[in-house]
Structure 1
Amino acid sequence: MTHRTHTQDTPRDAADAAARNRRFGRLPERIRAEDTVETKPATRPDPARDTYHADEWLIRYCG
């Protein structure tokens, strides 16, 4: 096995390095913190949906 150093690069190596530099040579665009948060308006509680039923476990497990 031979060991190549940078002084022995072939034209193919230089072309591969140029392609890598074009693809990965700079960082992606910065994302602002405001763009990473989604906000939704709050809704009013629905009494029909949020009522507490003390015997609900009976309906779920014994019915």
Structure 2
Amino acid sequence: MEILVLSGVLALAVGGCVCVVWAERGGPRWVRVVAAVTRTAGELLSRSGSSRSRSGSDD
């Protein structure tokens, strides 16, 4: 079951990356929407990771 969930997450991540590249080359509207969502999710994860690493270094 865990393998299935991880495979799904990997497929979503790869699909999002493909949409980002396709949107940069002028893809259809739905691709630009998926690319925007992917970029936003990446920014949120990046910010949460950097704040987590900062709070962990205060020890």
Q: TM-score over 0.5 for the alignment?
A: no
Greater helix percent: which structure? 2
TM-score normalised by structure 1 residue count? 0.36
Q: Tell me which of the two structures has the higher relative contact order, counting C-alpha pairs closer than 8 angstroms and 6 or more residues apart.
A: 2
